[in-house]
């Protein structure tokens, strides 16, 4: 008579229930909805059904299936959470018209409806910038031309145009005191 025939699953469960908790603790799993706990019990049930006494004591045999099942579920949950956060970020970008997207702390400006008639201001801005930086301001900010079109028009890569924009923003940020003094 083997160990499996002596004990019912209920008895095995009572003896090994803490095994699921132990593995969750070791793996750092927080389980407010008891999903992982239930998965551990299911793994214990499957191990009980497949148990072969020649493979060692039943209590030791449970450890591997429970731990591996919890790791699989943890990987699945992590992947689902990551995918969900990517979808949420994409939706936020669409709703906010690009603001708060990516890693840039600078908001995306919607140039529609903005009148840029102040020649003195733009002349002072132009005097602070290189030729390529001014092209970025003129084409991208003032005229609203997409970066791809600017790159094609100027015969450079899109990354080059993006670089013009980064340098322009950095330079204008450093020179904001000059611009503020111009219009006091």
Q: Domains (ranges, CATH) in the chain?
A: 3-95 (no CATH), 119-182 (1.10.10.10)
% of the chain exceeding 70 in pLDDT? 78
What string of DSSP letters covers 85-99? HHHHHHHHHHHTTTT
Q: Residue 54 and residue 66: Cα distance in Å, rounded?
A: 19
The pLDDT score that the predictor gives to residue 157 is 92
Dump pLDDT digits (tens) for 43-96.
888 888 887 777 777 777 778 888 889 899 889 988 998 889 888 887 777 766
Q: How many CA atoms lie within 13 A of 62 on its CB side?
A: 24
* pTM of the model as a whole: 0.46
Q: What digits encode the pLDDT tens for the residues 102-114? A: 555 455 555 555 5
Q: pLDDT confidence of 155, banded at 50, 70, 90?
A: very high
């Amino acid at each position: 008579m083997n160990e499996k025939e002596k004990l019912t699953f209920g008895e095995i469960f009572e003896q090994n229930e803490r095994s699921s908790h132990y593995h969750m603790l070791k793996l750092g799993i927080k389980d407010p909805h008891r999903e992982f706990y239930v998965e551990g019990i299911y793994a214990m049930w499957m191990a009980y059904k497949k148990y072969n006494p020649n493979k060692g004591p039943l209590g030791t045999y449970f450890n591997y299936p429970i731990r591996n099942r919890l790791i699989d579920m943890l990987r699945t949950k992590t992947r689902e959470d990551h995918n969900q956060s990517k979808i949420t970020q994409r939706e936020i970008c669409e709703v906010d018209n690009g603001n708060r997207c990516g890693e840039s702390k600078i908001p995306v400006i919607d140039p529609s409806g903005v009148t840029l008639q102040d020649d003195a201001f733009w002349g002072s801005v132009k005097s602070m910038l290189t030729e390529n930086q001014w092209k970025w301001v003129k084409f991208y900010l003032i005229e609203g031309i997409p970066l791809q079109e600017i790159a094609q028009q100027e015969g450079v890569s899109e990354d080059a145009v993006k670089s013009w924009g980064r340098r322009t923003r950095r330079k204008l940020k450093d020179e904001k005191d000059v611009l503020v003094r111009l219009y006091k």
